Structure 1
Amino acid sequence: MIFKKLKDRYNIITLIFIILLIVIVFRLATIMIVEGEQYREEAENRIFKTLPLPAPRGEIRDRYGRLIAGNRPSFTVQIMKSEVVDEKINEVALNIIEILEKNEDRYHDDFPIIFTEEGEFAFTYDLDLQDWKERNDLLEIDNAKEAFEILRRRYNIEETDPVEVQQQFIKIPNLSVPISILHWKFTDEMRKEQWLQSYNIQDLEVTAKGAFEIIRNRIYRIPEEYSDIEARKISVVREQLRKQGYLQYQPARIAQDISQASVTAIEENLLDLPGVNIAIEPIRYYPEGKMAAHILGYLGKISQQDEIDRYIKELNYLPSDIIGKTGVEHKFEETLKGDDGSQGVIVDSFGRLIRVLERQDPIPGDTLYLTIDANLQRVAEETLKDVLETLQVGGTYETRWGTNVLLNRGVPMVNATSGSVVVTDVKTGEVLALANYPAYDPNLFATGISMTDWQSLIPENERDPLAPRPLLNIATNTAIQPGSTFKMIVGLAGLEQGLSPNYRILDRGFIQVGGHSFGNWLWNQSRRTMGYQGLHQAIADSNNFYFYSVANGYDYGIGRSLPIRMNMDILTDYTKMFGLNDRTGIEIDIPRERSGGVPSIENKTRTVKAMLRNHLNRQMTINDLDETIVDPTPELLTEIIEEIVSWAEENPARSVIYNKMVDLGVKEEKAGIYTDIAKYSYFNQARWSVADTMNFSIGQGEHSYTSLQMANYMAILANGGYRYDLSLVRKTQSYDGKNVVEYPPELVERIGLKDYNNLDEINYGMNLTTVAGSAAATFRRFPIDVAGKTGSAQREGKIPPVDEVEYLKRYLRQFGVTETAVEEKTSKLMEENKDNPRYQDEGYAMREAIRSLNPRVNLDQFKDDYNAYAWFTGFAPYEDPQIAISVLIFQGGSGGFGAPIFREIVAEYMGLNIGNNEENFAIESRLAR
């Protein structure tokens, strides 16, 4: 019967189905009941993770491929928010921070509420703003627009449109103006408001303590068992997780470049640290330390709103990514960044790797090849440092190429603490070295700089603009008068107008122009003269008298006109030919590179107006306004001052100025005083005069050029009149070498000279400078013939003390006043002028108090004078120019002190410092280029 049924096809199918079902049920029962515990344990102990693989940042190498910025492996602490249960997050966060702190490892701390030394809560935004105000003497100013206006006037900015003013602020070295002109708020205030709103805290006036309690109790719900200090540590980690936003699948970086001790401690406690991972990531490394720091720039966290908009929102950077902030690291950020990869893995509950599922390798950033020669850069930096240190003590600087006693008239230059050197290839415009002293180590910024390290880079005396500033790129951002290094342009203009280089002018020591005496430097120093001199000897001996005469088209030696036509338009045109009114085109710090400052009547008028504005802002108060005519307010006073300043171009008669002031509301007795100040001290100085041409001819006055511009000027003299854009970058190359982008030299123009042979006459004078002129002693033993020029630029004023109030109190007796009287008068002035921001500066108010008690006192008499800037510029070799060099020393006194630096750089470039067996070959190779 059964067999008959099996012959039925339908019954066979049914039987097979029953058998299969029994097998499946049996197998399921085995898996779920017999082996269920084993599989459950395996499932719980296996976790799938997608780990990011950060791309190595592109390397930076010199022109010969030497590494100057690379990467090294480092340990990074990561935490994956999606893998940490809420009840464990506080414990995990606190454990991580305490492990790191125990081993003195730094971690990312972006939580903006901290405890002060007094144990009080404080917003970092408020502290940063307070610090900025203190550094800029704006402590009592709460209104951002008012602070903006004070800075505009302080820095003599003629423009009044906020956008234009902001652009001028950018050009000022070491000045940051954290003010939004769109909202007229301090940016730190706006950042604090945005941060509070991100936590849905609508009370923007909440205290730091109040905000902390809201976040602790309502947002993060941190139990009371944790102290406030522990709660803040927890908040630091949770802030990093919160910043990830919707990217919860991406781990947040808690700390980078941690020690082996922290790695070990975390690995040992991984069971109690769910979601925590130790990853090996590349970190930026600068093997040469400080070398080329201002070229390379430094890195930093994405922090400013424009950076957030650009990198996070537009380019999809992670909030924890490090970006280039300055230098080529910033300029080529997107080229150097690379593309991150990822790796899918399975790990057990202890975080141990079980299996790699998939991997997308990161693509390293492109390699950046610079134009600099690392060896030449190193020599430039070391020589600059050595010469400065020798100059400060008045010692002897000696190498195999010469001996120099660095004393200025027997006195050491103790304030010669900063300087720069620029070396360029005259045939391409490539920068071979760009050195500043002092410098900084960009390794400090690789993972975010600590507050201690940051403070070490701040000048001790921030009130002194010439105090050593390690972060300042002097070569690009400091524009000053060129002194006598400018004389070659005046000489060339004379030659181009038809003056013979052999035309000799008799040096009579000085030239009297009205009430001013313009003397040759030798006359000023020892009442001697240089006799008859032509162009070549005038350059070699830096004869002021000769160039005064050429610039004015008048032979002051014999009292008659020179046989050429000369005027300021001609001199200005030739100055601009050499790029001294333009940016150099260099790739770094383009927004902040100072463009030229060729003197002009417009520039002079602008300067005079700015000086008058500052004078009136210091002197005029609302008490000078007539209450019967106007309602005295600080705003009205500002409007009146601006109106008076605007009369500079017109320069009305004295009576007209007086009547206008009275009509504006200035008291009659005060109007007379301010009229004389405006008319005779400022308006009359706003027009161009013979005296201005005198100063122009020797590189003083309103000239303002950077070391880069001066090096390019020397290159144009040397290469036959070809003007190149300066460049620091030769090429970029992908990691696999397949994609190469070249940056070839860019010729701007060949300057329009009537006779290019005139350059030879100028260059011969520069060569004579190093053979028989002002720099001959430095090059006496030097085997390479060079062309150079010394120069010094006067720096007016006194060096401000670190603390003005302390300085004034120290000399009260010498000022002829008593401490009690000064204190009473200072308090009274501050109270009476509480609407005037200047009087809220105790130092300013105290100065005014002492002046009111003793009007004839000289309050700055005990301050040190600034010494002159020292320049040495030129090119080498003389017969076949290859490199141009500019050397600048702050407060160096004499341009000759820069000559040893020039000499040692040429020696290195020409191969004179290598072994004797290779010496001849190296020199021949250089000369054969």
Structure 2
Amino acid sequence: MQILFKFKKKQEKDKTKLRGQIIELLSNRIIIMGVLLMVLFCLLIYRLFVLQIIQGDEHLANFNYKIKKTIEISGARGNIYDCNGKTLAYNQLAYTVTLENTDETSRIARERTNANGKNGQKVTENDVKNEVIYKLIKVLETNGDTINYSLPMTVNSKGKLKFTVSGSSLARFKKDIYGITNIDNLSGDEKKKAEKYLNSTPEEVYEYLRSGKNGPQGTGNMFGIADSYSTEDTLKIMSVRYDVFMNRYSQTTPITVATNISDKSIAAISEHDDEYPGVSIKADSLRKYNDAKYFSSVLGYTGVVSESELKELNGNGSKYEANDVVGKTGIEKTMESTLQGKKGQKDVLVDNLGKVIKTVKTTKASAGNNVYLTIDADLQKYAYNILERRLAGILLAHLTTADTAGSEKRVPIKDVYYALIDNNIINISKLSRKKAKTNEKDVYQIYRKKQETVLSTLRKDLQSGTTIRKNLSEEKQDYVSYIYKMLENDGILVASSIDENDQVYLDWKDEKITFRKFLRHAINNEWINISSFNIKSDYYDADEIYDELINYIVDALKSEEDFDKILYEYMIKNGNLSGKKVCLLLYDQGVLDKKKDKDYNSLYTGKMSAYNFMYKKIKNIEITPAQLALDPCSGSVVITDPDTGEVKAMVSYPSYNNNRLANGIDSSYYASLNTDLSSPMLNRATQSRTAPGSTFKPISSTAVLEEGVANASTYVKCTGIFDKISPAAKCWIYPNAHGSLNVSGAIAVSCNFFFYQMGYNLGTVNGTYNSQRGLTKLKKYASMYGFNRKSGVEITEYEPHISDEDAIRSAIGQGTHSYTPSQISRYVTSLVNHKNLIDLSLIEKTTDSSGSVITSYKKRTEEKLDIKSSTFDLIKKGMIGVVNGKDSSIKYLYEKQGMKVAGKTGTAQENKKRPNHALFISYAPYDNPDITMTVVVPNGYTSANAAEIARDIYKYYFGKASKAEKKATTALLPTGSDGSND
């Protein structure tokens, strides 16, 4: 029992001890924390087991990679209105496709490479990017959409690459792609390399962008475009990659691939968005222009900001970013800061493909301000149409069936046929297509026969020809000249290596030797680059090189479209290709519609001759002066308010459709504009300079009257020829004469002799004539009328040039005078105002989106004209005589119109082989002028043609035009004779 008691007692003692140890253990914080952590760890393992094993598939399907991103929202651009509130430029909602760099392309490349195994083909990120872009392009094209093609390169129908820009634009492009900043800061080998890149051929640039071949160190494979793509597709891919490349310093900003895409494209891309990493579709506002051709020269257009524009804009304190849309030309550019909307932004979450999952926060954008122009839209449109109709009429009046232009500079009908080809109205590259029409195939066979004959003859002439250059036929001279330029452009004939003092070279320029002799001499003197020749041996002599040069020339000519045009020119001239077949091509290629045009059958069956057919099409403006690009094919009209300097109309013909350049350039259209021989993108009112001719005589009158050289009683007897200088200067009336005239009378009949004498007198002191002295005085008064600076209009304008040669001829507006119509218009405006020199303006006011006026432009820059009122009176007396005087050469145009117009005609000759320029400055009504008008028609033959254009517009402005005249659309032939020759 005692033993049992002791055992129980010991057991109780042990329990007490154990309980104490447990209590002590449980009271230890570290132990407690450890247990808690162990429990949490077990729970975490359990939760991970549930998430990854039990629910793994479900969560994988619902997984989205999320990252926060800020997207900028562009504010709507302000509208542009005419002076009456008619909308000229506005915005329209549309959808665009954008592309930005994403890590997803590199992930896809890695996955594909891994899937190919160790010995499989490596897939690069470039491969994936190019594939995505290619698929995107094909989807867009399948649904009738096109990409915004900005690469200044294309390939012609014969597979030859060529640049679509030149000059500074081409140099800028090459500097951008090759990473050349400032070549002037380079020296030695670095400078030589840079110069080499700047002289790269289209083929070299193409290969560099495609594969990095022969590029600067560190550029790698550039876009790494596989050679399995066609040249056309490679260029399209290259264009998109080029846009991304130019945006490389702003990687988070997407570039626009296509604008205004169709619903079909939206659906096709959206339904397969996983196949297009980095691609997004977004709602955007597109710039639209009403009645585009009438206003594009003034309005300009918008486009994605370039790198140089970005620097310029942000240099003024703005915050533009790559891919922003800005004004590129015209009012759109000048008023950029006013029209540009204020950006908003959106904070979003995006997935691994760049798609928006959730919008976190939005700051709204606000619209830009509106611009109201001084232009009257209805007046502008009417003036444009009258100008086009009159140009067509002048062309028809000089059309002839003769083969040559003759002394009257007429227009041979064969020149008209060829003009359709030369100006690409007829596309000769389409003649060889599989679906070519029968007539197209016939024409192509005629061409092939001509090409074969010409190339064979050229080969023989190059091998053994003995006819020196000046004795060649006109046709062969054209071929030789073309080959010479081609060899220079291709880098075969190295112009920089030619010794310009070399006797053989001088003989070549003087046309004293054969082309064969010159080329052989060029080889012997290492002026020929043989790197492109197929010479297999390392050892070769001059004969081998010359043989390869001949092969190169003949082969190269086969792919030269411009050379083909020369062939077509002589096919038409020589009668190998008939005018009828050329005219039928207009129907074959859709320029004219054979189903709607009754003249087709008449032409096809021979009931209507090709001459009569073409005459009718020009008369109906179905074929325009711009399309033919023959003289005359251009002109301008500027109408102003003489009290304010407001421009009521500024017409430039021909024009272009700025809708096709805004919102992403239509590359084919842009290329056609750049090659159009009528230069439609040139604003004739502000960027085309001519000598003013006799329209300058009021300034010469101001000079002689203000300088005291002459007064109202000063009479000069015109004998027809001014022989105080050598060679003698003739009056336009010679061999007749005007007789005795004072300044007003001399203006009225535009007597050159009178103003020759005045120019002579201005430069004469103490009986000694000094031309420079006379020029200085003429310049003083030309400057008073604003000819020493631009006119003030708010768009791009060329600088004026006051004559610095021959005071006597400068006094009649010849010499080296060179002014734009806008500058001549400012002079007329100030002459009529007779108090102030007023800067012209196209802008009336700006308003906010609610219509409240922000800025009014009513106040113009003015300078007091320090000229006596008596001087203006004498000049205006002469100007009313120009239009209404008894000896007026244009009186028949105005005498029965019920309008009292004063003006000054002007005819300027700048090229003896082409018609004279036609000018007419005027204002009306004479007693209380409401408007001034300046009409300039380059190569318009005679000033009467310009005066008649002005007459038609005055009739409309003053309500004298009939309803029939307002609605008419056909050509207007000149009234009466060729009129004034002053």
Q: 1:385 aligns with which of 385, 388, 393?
A: 388
The answer to whether structure 1 residue 892 and structure 2 residue 894 are counterparts is no
State how far apart, in whole Å, the 2-side matches of 1:455 and 1:113 are.
10
Question: Distance in 1 between the 2:187 and 2:390 partners?
Answer: 47
Instruction: Report what 2:75 is aligned to.
Output: 55
Alignment of 1:276-287 (within 5 A): 276-287=279-290
State the AA in 1 paired with 2:679.
R
Counterpart CA distance in 2 for 1:758 and 1:451 is 55
Give the aligned partner of residue 828 of structure 2: 714
Q: 1:764 & 1:102 partners in 2: Cα distance? A: 68
Q: Quote the Cα distance in structure 2 between the aligned partners of 1:490 and 1:225.
A: 69
Shift of 1:76: 0.7
The one-letter code sitting in structure 2 at the alignment partner of 1:578 is Y
Aligned position for 2:874: 761
Contact 1:429 1:745 in 2 (8 A): no
- The within-5 A match list for 1:459-498 is 459=675, 468-496=678-706, 497=708
Q: Does 1:44 align with 2:64?
A: yes
**Which of the numbers 703, 727, 730 marks the counterpart of 1:516?**
727
Change (3 A) 1:230 1:570: closer
Amino acid at match of 1:886: T
Distance 1:38 1:706, change over 3 A: same
- 1:538 alignment counterpart: 746
Deviation at 1:358? 3.0
Matched, 1:444 2:660: yes
1:310 to 2:298 alignment: no
Measured in 1, the distance between the counterparts of 2:299 and 2:320 equals: 21
For the 8 Å contact 2:97–2:280, the answer to whether it is kept is: yes
Q: Any idea what the Cα deviations from partners look like across 1:253-277, whole Å, max 9, x if unmatched?
A: 2222223332232123224334432
> What is the correspondence of 1:602-617 to structure 2 with a 5 Å cutoff?
603-604=804-805
Secondary structure of the structure 1 residue equivalent to 2:699: helix
The 1-side partners of 2:941 and 2:154 are apart by 47
What is the TM-score of this pair, normalised by structure 1? 0.61
SS at match of 1:521: coil
Equivalence for 1:699: 813
Distance 1:111 1:505 in 2: 63
- Quote the residue 1:593 is aligned against: 798
Kept after mapping to 1: 8 A contact 2:72/2:343: yes
Aligned counterpart, 1:501: 712
- Counterpart in 2 of 1:577? 784
1:361-410 per-position Cα deviation (integer Å, ceiling 9, x unaligned): 222222222222212221221121111111111189xxxxxxxxxx9989
The one-letter code sitting in structure 1 at the alignment partner of 2:754 is Y
| Correspondence 1:258 to 2:261 | yes
Secondary structure in structure 1 of the residue aligned to 2:135: helix
* Partner in structure 2 of residue 458 of structure 1: 674
C-alpha contact (below 8 Å) 1:50/1:249 kept by paired residues: no
Unaligned ranges ≥5, structure 1: 1-13, 137-142, 145-177, 197-202, 397-406, 462-467, 605-691, 798-864, 917-929
Bigger Cα displacement from structure 2, 716-725 vs 260-269: 260-269
User: Displacement of 1:55 after TM fit?
Assistant: 2.4
The whole-number CA distance in structure 2 between the counterparts of 1:510 and 1:913 is 42
Q: 1:221 to 1:516 in 2, by over 3 A?
A: closer
Judged with a 3 Å threshold, the aligned counterparts in structure 2 of structure 1 residues 593 and 43 are, in CA distance, closer, same or farther, namely: same
Change (3 A) 1:358 1:75: same
CA displacement 1:235-284 (0-9 Å, x = unmatched): 66555555554755443322222233322321232243344321111112
Tell me whether 1:906 sits opposite 2:954 in the alignment.
yes
Quote the offset at 1:486 in angstroms.
1.5
Q: Is the 8 A contact 2:254 2:323 kept in 1?
A: no
Aligned to 2:755: 547
| Structure 1 residues 504-903: aligned runs within 5 Å | 504-524=715-735, 527=736, 529-553=737-761, 569-589=776-796, 593-597=798-802, 599=803, 603-604=804-805, 692-737=806-851, 740-753=854-867, 755-772=868-885, 773-797=888-912, 865-903=913-951
Matched position secondary structure for 2:889: coil
1:718 Cα deviation (Å)? Answer: 0.9
Q: 2: CA distance between counterparts of 1:745 and 1:241? A: 45
1:48-77 CA distances to partner (integer Å, 9 max, x unpaired)? 775543322222222222221222222211
| Distance of aligned partners of 1:328 and 1:219 in 2 relative to their CA distance in 1, 3 Å threshold | closer
Amino acid in structure 2 at the alignment position of 1:769 = V
Report how far residue 456 of structure 1 moved.
Answer: 1.9
Change (3 A) 1:213 1:280: farther
| Matched residue, 2:644 | 428
Q: Which residue among 80, 90, 94 is the counterpart of 1:70?
A: 90
Shift of 1:724: 0.8
Matched, 1:295 2:320: no
Secondary structure in 1 matching 2:291: coil
Q: Which residue, 123, 135, 148 being the options, matches 1:95?
A: 135
Cα distance in 1, alignment partners of residues 241 and 813 from structure 2 = 59
| Corresponding residue of 2:212 | 211
Checking the alignment, whether the CA contact within 8 Å between 1:82 and 1:249 is kept in structure 2 is: no
Higher relative contact order (CA 8 A, sep 6+): 1
Instruction: Summarize the alignment of residues 104-123 of structure 1 with structure 2, pairs less than 5 Å apart.
Output: 104-109=144-149
Distance change (3 Å), C-alpha of 1:756 and 1:237:
closer
TM-superposed deviation, 1:895: 0.8
Q: Comparing 387-396 with 234-243, which one deviates more in the overlay?
A: 234-243
- Structure 1 pair 907–190 and aligned structure 2 pair: CA distance change class (3 A): farther
TM-score normalised according to structure 2 size:
0.58
Structure 2 CA distance for partners of 1:907 and 1:228, relative to 1, 3 Å: closer
Partner of 1:327: 330
| Alignment deviations for residues 198-256 of structure 1 (CA, whole Å, 9 cap, x no partner) | xxxxx999956651699999677889998998787666655555555475544332222
Letter of the 2:268 counterpart:
A
| In structure 1, C-alpha distance between the alignment counterparts of 2:738 and 2:153, rounded to whole Å | 69
Contact 2:791–2:839 (CA under 8 A) maintained in structure 1: yes
User: Residues of 2 paired with 1:876 and 1:243: CA distance?
Assistant: 53
Q: What does 1:88-237 align with in structure 2 at a 5 Å threshold? A: 88=108, 89-90=128-129, 91-109=131-149, 127=163, 210-211=211-212
* Distance change (3 Å), C-alpha of 1:450 and 1:872: same
Q: Structure 1 322/502 Cα, relative in aligned 2: closer, same or farther at 3 Å?
A: same
Q: Determine helix, strand or coil for the equivalent of 1:516.
A: coil
Question: Could you tell me how far 1:878 is from its partner in structure 2?
Answer: 0.9
Task: From the CA coordinates, give the structure whose radius of gyration is larger.
Answer: 2
Kindly provide the amino acid, as one letter, of the partner of residue 380 in structure 1.
A
C-alpha displacement of 1:425: 1.4
The size of the alignment, in residue pairs, is 661
Q: Structure 2 unaligned runs (5+)?
A: 1-31, 109-127, 176-180, 400-405, 413-629, 965-982
Q: 1:253–1:548: structure 2 CA closer, same or farther, 3 Å change rule? A: closer
